[in-house]
Chains A and B, each alone.
Chain A
Amino acid sequence: MPAAEAALAKVQIHSRLVAFLPRLRRFCHGLTGNADLGDDLLQATFERALSRIDQWQAGTNLENWVYKLASNLNIDRLRALRVRGVVIDIEEAFDLAGEDELARMEFRSELDAVNAAMVDLPPELRQVIAAVVLAGQSYREAADMLDIPIGTVMSRLSRARKFIEQRVNRAPSGMVQ
């Protein structure tokens, strides 16, 4: 590619990344379940996108490529946090609250309950919620981003929904309407 075209392409890509930042930030907040951690992840993702922009293939979806960078960085962060411990398969783990735990939950509103649920969600479940519900990705796109089968996306969504719904049903307005 001639130097002039390459220069213009870089300017265009940078402009697209900047315009994409608000939605990337929302995705990062959803991935981490925390605004401060989310902004840290946003910064790391933006820096990585700029430094590796040559690896993005023109003609593919730039937005999805950046989402995947964010997701991978978040996985790296989680792995760093997981010092030696018992490995539990998320598909086998029982992550729904028991009756005793439910009885202790009190929320001011449905939104308060969802806020709490998003913080408490196991990371693997939060990933699919962030991808599908917050970023608007299809199940296929979410599966490609997270390197998991579509069936796993669906099962994790189902578990995440039940996890959140349990808490929302403890909120003052009761059942989700």
Chain B
Amino acid sequence: MSMTPTGLPSTDMTDDQIAAWLHGSLEAQDAAHAEAMIAADPVLAERASRLRRLDDLVRQSVPLEDPLPAELLARLGLPAFANDPATLATADIIDLAARRAARAPARPTRFAAFTGGWRVAAQIALVVGMGYGAMQIFTSHIPTQPEAAYRMLGSAPDATAATNALVMFDPGIRPADARALLGRPGVQVIGEPTSAGAWRLHIEPGRRASVLAELAATPRVRLAEPIEGIPE
């Protein structure tokens, strides 16, 4: 039985305690103590390595598939553009895996391939981007998208038009059907739908209330609301 610098036998740390350290579930003081013991004791380090390897195998057995297959998106009633990387780039999700990575002790380089380190880094960058706020979440990727190859009557870009309404349809609706439903006098579609499936509109001010009421009463429309101040 090897001894730690504190004189405690290495068997004084159980596998459960080592696992709790690996899983970032020890209090800060206990985690620091565990880290010091493991760093100083080859037997404990070997046990920690074995447990870490087991976790890696479990993660490998249930791989993270991103983006989702198109057929699954269709089954969930989501349009294909839900796979657009901009969806991730504009979401302000707090990634628990990234948080755990921050809590957990540093890992040997040889395990990096199992953890998808690039993905964690991307998610951390994503979290940093949270401060941009709701308006940017909604609009930031839209200007970079190419214009549609066709436009319905009355939807030609107008640099002076500002978004003053928002419409969402049932999941899975075809863009052509959505545009057809929006094809009303005084309605101008601003750009492409967002990754969340929301369509931005400019409606002539005198017609906005009536148009939105009509749209809200349309079966495939889930949401039709006036909105102000969305930046172009």
Contacts and interface: CB of A to CB of B under 8 A. Distances in A.
B23 A43 contact: no
A29 B50 contact: no
A63 B95 CA distance: 8
A7 interface: yes
21 contacts: A3-B225, A10-B168, A11-B166, A18-B87, A18-B196, A19-B91, A21-B76, A22-B67, A25-B65, A26-B63, A30-B62, A42-B72, A114-B57, A114-B60, A118-B62, A135-B97, A136-B100, A138-B25, A141-B96, A161-B19, A161-B51
B57 A168 contact: yes
A10 B134 contact: no
A23 B61 contact: no
Interface of A: 3-4, 6-12, 14-16, 18-23, 25-26, 29-30, 39, 42-43, 46, 61-64, 110-111, 114-115, 118, 129-130, 132-141, 154, 157-158, 161, 164-165, 168, 175-177
B25 A139 contact: yes
Contacts of A29: 62
B226 A4 contact: yes
Interface residues of B, number: 60
B212 to A, nearest CB: 10
A43 B94 contact: no
B131 to A, nearest CB: 14
A14 B196 contact: yes
B68 A7 contact: no
Contacts of A6: 225
A36 to B, nearest CB: 11
Interface string B56-87: 01111111111110001001101000100001
Contacts of A177: 49-50, 53
